[in-house]
Amino acid sequence: MCGIIGVIDRKMEKMDGSSIRSALSMMDERGSGEGSGYVAYGIYPEYADCYAIHVFFDNIHETKPRVDELLGNWGWVIYDEEIPTHPSKLRKSHTPWRYFFQPNPRLSPSSETPDEDIVRNLVMRINTANNGSLVFSSGKNMGVFKAAGWPEDVADFYGIQNYEGYIWLAHNRYPTNTPGWWGGAHPFNLLNWSVVHNGEITSYGTNRRYVESFGYTCTMYTDTEVVAYLVDILARKHGLSKELVVKALAPSFWDEIDLMEGHEHYLNRAIRMTYGSAMMNGPFAIIVADHQSITGFTDRIKLRPMVAAESGNCLYISSEEAAIRAMEPVLDKVWMPKAGEPVIGRLF
């Protein structure tokens, strides 16, 4: 039922958040008013070298000093502030805060990617401490803005129209297996990866055990969280291309692989055998973003809708064509991707 949409300007020309607010509002019937959110890339150019860590605080006076101390032990907080919010119909259940943080790589000398591993470990430590704080965004020059509410109310609460980015994702949630709450709203993020998802990951238990074997911990009571961690492992840690990540998460059926020949056969067989525990089952449509691209794909029989479109330098991926046309009425090309087939938009 959820509504998802993503857009990338492949020449990095920035768009403000007003048009994606309108697009997500077109899919109000796909939500229940219990969770919506947005993510944009390129919004913090003045702190582009810092990790923008967004945190929900339950009681800022009690919990923020603990986060301050932890961050100070692992690097430097260049600047921090409460994320600006505005009056809306949304009930403010948490205080959203942002830190611009630089990790100290000397504190992780054995890591090949010390900055990223320090930030990842900090996210896990804060989110498992159960002390009234939750990190919901942790990448560079990007940020997630989400809450429990309708798309328009969440957008107005954060003033989404005041942010400008060259990549945007947005999500309108219809929770089925878990209650709606601020942390459970999409997008889900870790480092530079952000994910929006429509559907259900029925392999969540297997996928969760897989990511936990690499030191990740799921704390947000929704299956989509595990997708962000899977992408971080496969793309960042293991160095797989976007195409191979999709092959691992939504691989071809065995009978299809058996009909393949040569390199294609051996590659698909090797990916499925190596990443069997990362394979996702169930009905889903997913869009993943990082600073260089957006990638959309569905389950192997496409039990959730996905449509893609192009207009000039922009690639759009969404649950509905109407949402795309709310952003850009005149499109050069519109198509329905095949089941399991990735749609990838990269910067020129």
Rounded CA separation 337/246 (Å): 13
Q: Are 284 and 193 in contact (CB under 8 A)?
A: no
Surface-to-core class of residue 194, CB atoms within 10 Å of its CB (0-12 exposed, 13-18 middle, 19+ buried):
buried
Q: Are 77 and 68 in contact (CB under 8 A)?
A: yes
Q: Which amino acid is at 221?
A: Y
Give the pairing type, strands 3-9 and 314-318: antiparallel
What Å distances lie between residue 233 and 290, 296, 333, CA to CA? 14, 18, 33
Q: Are 35 and 144 in contact (CB under 8 A)?
A: no
Instruction: State both tokens at 263.
Output: 């390199």
Question: Would you name the residues annotated as active-site residues?
Answer: 2
Answer whether the bond into residue 187 is a cis peptide, omega within 30°: yes
What is the end-to-end Cα distance of the chain in Å, rounded? 33
Instruction: State both tokens at 44.
Output: 């913090």
Rounded CA separation 218/239 (Å): 22
